[in-house]
């Protein structure tokens, strides 16, 4: 079994991109994992994913998984999608003999982004694998401002990322778009 490798869920958004930069900074070999699950921002996410893995020289390591379209309520909120994504990441890690699964989930109000969820899921994966597979959520307690500051200090190419959930063009109006625009411009000022 390899040591120092990780499977990393990489949507192409700022959060997962910062996790990627953190893993590489720690000198780990990273297997970036992308999901196609029917999300409206699929094309932009894929472009961001490819841009980031190309930037970091990881094109030979990538994995993508096309799921059936996931169900969503009204405004493209996909209930419990992290259950599915993490389960697949754990399966991939187990087949590749990799012990570390990294996700850029941050604490928020959705059922699958709470500390209860990440604790329960990480505990399940660890117990069922006899302690072999560990889930890590390195930015779980950071707010967006601190995530972006972290990205800046790691020289993350923000222009390659895509974080808007509304569609393929950053709408510039949703909370995520506004926050990123604001924080990046403050840091660049």
Residues binding Zn ion (CB under 5 A)? 164, 166, 171, 174, 177
For the bound state, the minimum distance from the C-beta of residue 126 to Zn ion, rounded and expressed in Å, comes to 35
Cβ proximity to Zn ion: between 46 and 101 the closer is 46
For the bound state, the minimum distance from the C-beta of residue 174 to Zn ion, rounded and expressed in Å, comes to 3
For the bound state, the minimum distance from the C-beta of residue 153 to Zn ion, rounded and expressed in Å, comes to 25
Cβ proximity to Zn ion: between 124 and 174 the closer is 174
Cβ proximity to Zn ion: between 34 and 165 the closer is 165
For the bound state, the minimum distance from the C-beta of residue 148 to Zn ion, rounded and expressed in Å, comes to 15
Cα torsion 67, 10, 168, 147 to 10°: value is 140
Contact 187, 148 (CB under 8 A): yes
Q: If phi over 0 gives left and psi between -120 and 50 gives alpha, with beta otherwise, what is residue 54? A: alpha
- The kind and range of the H/E element at 177 are helix 175-188
Cβ proximity to Zn ion: between 29 and 106 the closer is 106
Query: What stretches of the chain adopt beta strand conformation (E)?
Result: 5-9, 29-36, 63-66, 100-102, 134-136
């Amino acid at each position: 079994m390899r040591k120092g490798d990780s499977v990393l869920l990489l949507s192409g958004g700022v959060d997962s991109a910062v996790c990627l930069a953190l893993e590489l900074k720690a000198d780990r070999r990273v297997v970036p994992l992308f999901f196609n699950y029917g999300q409206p921002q699929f094309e932009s996410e894929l472009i961001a994913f490819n841009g980031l893995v190309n930037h970091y020289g990881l094109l030979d390591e990538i994995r993508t998984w096309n799921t059936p379209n996931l169900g969503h309520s009204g405004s493209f909120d996909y209930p419990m999608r992290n259950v599915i994504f993490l389960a697949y990441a754990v399966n991939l890690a187990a087949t590749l003999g990799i012990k570390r699964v990294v996700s850029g989930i941050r604490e928020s109000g959705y059922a699958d982004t709470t500390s209860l969820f990440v604790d329960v899921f990480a505990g399940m994966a660890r117990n069922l694998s006899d302690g072999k597979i560990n889930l890590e959520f390195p930015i779980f307690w950071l707010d967006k401002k601190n995530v972006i500051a972290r990205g800046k200090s790691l020289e993350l190419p923000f222009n390659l990322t895509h974080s808007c959930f509304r569609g393929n063009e950053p709408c510039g109006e949703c909370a995520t778009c506004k926050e990123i625009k604001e924080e990046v411009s403050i840091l660049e000022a």
